[in-house]
Amino acid sequence: MKIQSSRKGGFTLVEIMIVVAIIGLLAAIAIPNFVKARTTAQTNACIANLKQIDGGIQQWALENKKTSTDTPGATEVAAYLKGNKMPTCPGGGSYTIQTVSQNPLCNVTGHSL
């Protein structure tokens, strides 16, 4: 008669620790890249908003026969933008409208046309 010994397979503590260490190493490499990608995306979105605002300013100046030294208000520019409202900076900044000949500004460092 044979005696059957049942040996259930499982992972040892060392194997589990190695897997956790590898996952931790990959996370340590990936997380800074995600943060950088987020910052770059916010900067690009802000620059796109600034271009839209500048386009609205230029349209306002053309339709109202304004000179390059005139400064429109935010509501006047918003009329030429999608949804009739000013966009918001994804980085938490705010936009400043200047004269027709100057680019609009964002108060977040690095967000400029």
User: What digits encode the pLDDT tens for the residues 32-72?
Assistant: 999 999 999 999 999 999 999 999 999 999 999 999 999 99
Q: 7 in a domain, yes or no? A: no
Is 5 contained in some domain?
no
- Give the tens place of pLDDT for each residue, 6-43: 667 788 999 999 999 999 999 999 999 999 999 999 99
**100 inside domain:** yes
Which of helix, strand or coil describes residue 95?
strand
Report how many domains make up the chain: 1
Q: What is the pTM of this model?
A: 0.75
Q: Is residue 67 part of a domain?
A: yes
Domain that holds residue 60: 16-106
pLDDT tens digit string along 92-108?
A: 999 999 999 999 999 99
Largest CA distance in the chain: 106
In a domain, 53, yes or no: yes
- Angle (nearest 5°) at CA 94 between 109 and 63: 115
Asked whether residue 82 is assigned to any structural domain, the reply reads yes
